[in-house]
Amino acid sequence: MLKDEQTAHKAFEMLVDLYSQPLYWQIRKLVINHSETDDLLQNVFLKAWKNIHNFRGDAKLSTWLHKIAINESLNFLHQEKQKREITDNSDDNFLLAGIAADEYFDGESVEAQLLRAVEQLPEKQRLVFNMRYYDEMKYEEISEILGTSVGALKASYHHAVKKISAQLGI
């Protein structure tokens, strides 16, 4: 292996170490299932490795990786809906079933109730809520990742919070 290749591999290993956990949780909040999340995370890093030469540096590397992770997650969810012949975007009952089946969540815990409420949000609101609430991303960063205006993101987040509050009876 050439020295440049060794350097590239080492740099990529560092990238994987640095971003594996935040990307894992971003994907996991969208697809719920642990094993599917692991597979998608691996796909994210494979795509990043194959396309690193296309990274222009217009945005932060973390923004680029989050964008890949979101796109992989959304593609997976759309494929799952097609497999299940789900046509209505609001019918994500397969995700709710995933929460109930997950060994890491007690079905009656507040966390599980919140997850169920979040999973019932429309896809865009769910994305924005997860990125803002759980990942504590700034609206500007979410805007770069999703290609949506800050104002629209704030509105989506506000609507998501209202729906979650109503769902939880708050």
More confident residue, 149 or 7: 149
Percent of the chain exceeding pLDDT 90 equals 52
Percent of residues in the chain assigned helix, strand, coil, to nearest 5 = 75, 0, 25
Q: How far apart are CA 81 and CA 88, in angstroms?
A: 9
pLDDT digits (tens, 9 = 90+) for 95-114: 555 555 555 555 557 777 88
